[in-house]
Structure 1
Amino acid sequence: MNEKEEIEIDLSRVIDIIKKHFNLFVIIILIASIIAALITMFLIPKKYTAEAKLIIVQKSNPDSQQISYNDIQTSQKLVNTYSEILKSEAVSDEVIKNLELDVKNIDHSSYLKMVNISSIKDTEVIKISVETQEPKLSAEIANEIVLVFQKKIATIMNIENVTVLNSAKVPEQKSSPSNFKNILIGFLLGCIIDGCFVIYFLLNDRNIRTEEELKKIFNYPIIGLIPDMSHGTGGTE
């Protein structure tokens, strides 16, 4: 039966390595965190998100001024349909044309990347989020999508009861990238690098510290020990 060689990691040795190279490990973490911060602030483009919300209720009886429970249920089921219409070329092409976004090289595929359509659970409310590198442009696109959708939905599905809950405002704060998140990633990366160094130092440590280690290496009984004289003999001169 072949015996597999096992590597035992002594926690005290790990602690000794960390203490010995503590300054190095701290510097590595600081450098990784600073690099992550600099990349976030100067290399990754800032993006801004503007949001608009609208509510759509499809009446079963257009002549009635009241909205029934069935109308609400039907509208909730059609939210996914409305979302697809908002993402369609019928809406995107007109938004691009009205705002002359083609000058900025924005086409339908770019539109889909910057626009996110979501619904609030168990409601008829649809949220339109637009993320671009320009705060004002994000708000303009979101509001234009609402205007175009109001016209298109009346033609496509004969629905006129579209109410804007809130128009998009120009965002004052960037939505991405996250300084905290990226610096945290840099910090964790520094910790991983430190861990690799600890493993390297452990594997290359050839010092023998205990009798047990000596027995394992040479497989011979120990017949004597030489005391450590570096701290003095303990006697008098």
Structure 2
Amino acid sequence: MKEETISLGELFSILKRSKWLIVSLALIAAITAFLISSYVIQPTYEASTQVLVAPKESQNNTIDSSQIQSSVTLVNTYRVIIESPAILEQVQENVIGAPDSISNLITVNSEQNSQVINIKIQHTNPVLATDIANEISDVFSKEVPELMSVDNVKVLSNASVPMFPVSPNILLNTAIATVLGLMVGIAIAFLKVVLDRRIKTEQDVENILELPVLGSIPVIDKVEMQRQVNVKGEQVHA
């Protein structure tokens, strides 16, 4: 059997014939994703606060580069302390309504070679997320002198109540679902052609049966057939 190939024109023809199927699947996927993102998935809010690891001043009230580098080095240690039970258990006790596992809500990071630590809390309740974030920075700044025997942490900025959720991203989810719907529709359109082994044209006979076409019977619709009958009838009467 000859190897079957599909030309670019045939590809466009397949897509054109199945355009309503493709569009319908894309619309269904987009509407479904929009409704789920808007009304099913509970929105999540993020509150963030920052603490500064300040270098210790020398006796002459100056700060040199070695002291700054020492503070930067301490940042990684402080990030671990912030997420430790020593801090989070106190926060859980102090904040009314705080969940049992705050560690699942918190994200602690810092820029490379930065003395600033970012503390982020994500929760479905924006007020609770704000309270937890601010309490973590407060407890941490108070506990550091006892834990590290050095008082070099200051709260740089307090968290404010977020007005808009960070997830779900309704627009992004809808766009992704639309693309997936289009891809599924196109795949189904091509599968219908590939799996359809019926012989419809002279070209199908040559490709599938590998036989030459000796002749074909044209398809004439009823209107054309009636017109030809009328013409022949007029010729006979003439």
1:94 to 2:94 alignment:
no
- 1:1-237 aligned at under 5 Å gives the runs 6-59=3-56, 61=58, 63-101=59-97, 106-107=99-100, 110-205=101-196, 206-209=198-201, 211=203, 213-224=204-215
Once residues 216 and 66 of structure 1 are traced to their aligned partners in structure 2, the CA distance between those partners, rounded to angstroms, is 88
Counterpart residue number, 2:236: none
RMSD of aligned alpha carbons:
2.5
Give CA deviations for 1:150-179 in whole Å, capped at 9, x if unaligned: 111111112212222211010011111111
Asked if the contact 1:119/1:125 (under 8 Å) is kept, the reply is yes
Across the two proteins, how many residue pairs are aligned to each other? 225
Local SS of the residue matching 1:75:
helix
Structure 2 unaligned regions, length at least 5: 232-238
Once residues 41 and 118 of structure 1 are traced to their aligned partners in structure 2, the CA distance between those partners, rounded to angstroms, is 30
> What letter is aligned with 1:91?
I
Worse overlay, 157-166 or 70-79:
157-166
Once residues 3 and 150 of structure 2 are traced to their aligned partners in structure 1, the CA distance between those partners, rounded to angstroms, is 73
Once residues 176 and 87 of structure 1 are traced to their aligned partners in structure 2, the CA distance between those partners, rounded to angstroms, is 23
Asked if the contact 1:17/1:201 (under 8 Å) is kept, the reply is no
Once residues 189 and 21 of structure 2 are traced to their aligned partners in structure 1, the CA distance between those partners, rounded to angstroms, is 11
Aligned in 2, Cα 1:136/1:160: closer, same or farther, shift over 3 Å?
A: same
> What letter is aligned with 1:96?
Q
Once residues 211 and 166 of structure 2 are traced to their aligned partners in structure 1, the CA distance between those partners, rounded to angstroms, is 67
Structure 1 unaligned regions, length at least 5: none
Asked if the contact 1:58/1:159 (under 8 Å) is kept, the reply is no
Percent identity over the alignment is: 31
Q: Give how far 1:143 is off.
A: 0.6
Decide which structure has the larger Cα Rg and report it: 2
